[in-house]
Structure 1
Amino acid sequence: MASQSRDGGGGLRRLVAALTSVEIGIAAVLTAVIFLAVLVQAFQRYLPVAGLAWTGELSQFSLVWLTFLAAGVLVTRDGHIALQVIDNIKSEGLVRTFHIVAHIIVAIVAVLFAWQCVSLVSTSSILTSPSMGMSMSLHYVLPLVGFISTAIRSVAAALVVARDGVEAAHESDALSVQVNREVQS
């Protein structure tokens, strides 16, 4: 029965896979920006001319954007911080309950952070960053997208765990995690 429900969500799986690809692509670009900006900063130390002050600011902003944008992908791939002790409990129902509650808590926190990002986007337009002169409203857009993604993915993960169990949630394109090894043996 679990395989039938998993096959029925093929369109949803493709959508999630496409969104994941976009988020990972943006994360890869941000990683490259961080690398190049720090490389430019390192080379500037040896030049006889004044350095470009905006490179440090750009690398800091890129790190913040990368962190929050990748959070949703980590939830989908079960790569976020987890208590492995819970996964070793013998009761499958108790493990399932802990996972559902954890995903719901993550979703609630992500919604609250997204709500604050909306507030920051709407109220920070008069502020600009010191070196780049970028509107600070723009600074909060990618974290907002990341928190929305995290909230949606956490709710979806809670539903998958509730419907199919913890093992089924780990069968997607998730990292290989062994849950309830002792129970399965």
Structure 2
Amino acid sequence: MRDPGLKRLIQLLTAVELTIGCLAGAMIFVLILFQAVQRYLPLPQVVWTGELSQFALIWLTFAAAGVLVTRNGHIALQLVDSLPSPAVVRVVQTLAMVLVALIAAAFTWACWELVSSAGFLTSPALGLPMSWVYAVVLVGLVSTTVRAAVGAVQVARNGVPSPDHDEGEVAR
């Protein structure tokens, strides 16, 4: 990547998204462990742990989606990457990234509708406003859309990234 400021911004956004994902993963672990332990304790049951762990799984999934797109860690057809023609691989990967960007954009729009219209809904056990739950998903979807669009442009211009690339580097 030529612009060090842009590279630093991408690294910062990646760190924020990975932090959200790690916190959500830790939350899932602790809450599920607590649920298992509380079954055997003679204490009143805490009903919101299952609900919050489900929300954390959703947050983990969408927070990490943009990072996976940038690092080429999303679902891909490895068979296409091994074709002998670099031009065909470049076209297929560009089209795949454009398709990911379009689908993520459609999901982003739908999620925006949920965030803006679900303010009065609350979760059953926690009473958490559902618009808050959807807001984290919206951020992840926006990140995925932008990263996929940028990735499509980069692959179209510079070629296919090497498997062990740093964000923004491409194979020559």
User: For the superposition of Structure 1 and Structure 2, which TM-score range results when normalised by the shorter chain?
Assistant: over 0.9
1:161, 1:169 within 8 Å by CA — same for their partners in 2? Answer: no
Please give the alpha-carbon distance, in whole angstroms, between the structure 2 residues aligned to 1:145 and 1:155.
16
Partner of residue 123 from structure 1, selected from 117, 120, 125: 117
Shift of 1:49: 2.3
Please give the alpha-carbon distance, in whole angstroms, between the structure 2 residues aligned to 1:141 and 1:164.
34
Write the deviation string for residues 80-102 of structure 1: whole angstroms up to 9, x where unpaired: 00001111111111100000000
User: Normalised by the size of structure 1, how large is the TM-score?
Assistant: 0.87
| Structure 2 residue 99 is matched with structure 1 residue 105 | yes
Please give the alpha-carbon distance, in whole angstroms, between the structure 2 residues aligned to 1:168 and 1:41.
43
Q: Judging changes above 3 Å, is the alpha-carbon distance between structure 1 residues 116 and 168 closer, same or farther for their aligned structure 2 residues?
A: same
Which runs of no fewer than 5 residues in structure 2 stay unpaired?
Answer: none
Shift of 1:9: 2.2
| Structure 2 residue 147 is matched with structure 1 residue 153 | yes
Runs of 4+ in 1 over 2 A off after TM superposition: 167-171
Amino acid at match of 2:102: I
1:107, 1:150 within 8 Å by CA — same for their partners in 2? Answer: yes
Shift of 1:168: 5.3
Q: How does 1:126-141 map to 2 (within 5 A)?
A: 126-141=120-135
| Structure 2 residue 33 is matched with structure 1 residue 39 | yes
Hey, what does 2:7 align to over in structure 1? 13
Shift of 1:169: 8.2
What is the aligned length? 170
1:161, 1:168 within 8 Å by CA — same for their partners in 2? Answer: no
Q: Judging changes above 3 Å, is the alpha-carbon distance between structure 1 residues 169 and 148 closer, same or farther for their aligned structure 2 residues?
A: farther
| Structure 2 residue 47 is matched with structure 1 residue 53 | yes
Please give the alpha-carbon distance, in whole angstroms, between the structure 2 residues aligned to 1:26 and 1:167.
26
CA RMSD of aligned residues (A): 1.8
| Structure 2 residue 23 is matched with structure 1 residue 29 | yes
SS of 1:140's partner is helix
Which runs of no fewer than 5 residues in structure 1 stay unpaired?
Answer: 1-5
Please give the alpha-carbon distance, in whole angstroms, between the structure 2 residues aligned to 1:164 and 1:171.
13
Partner of residue 165 from structure 2, selected from 167, 171, 177: 171
| Structure 2 residue 60 is matched with structure 1 residue 70 | no
Hey, what does 1:92 align to over in structure 2? 86
Shift of 1:172: 1.7
Identity of aligned residues (%): 48
User: Normalised by the size of structure 2, how large is the TM-score?
Assistant: 0.93
Write the deviation string for residues 125-183 of structure 1: whole angstroms up to 9, x where unpaired: 11110100001111101110001000110011111111211035862249xxxx9xxxx
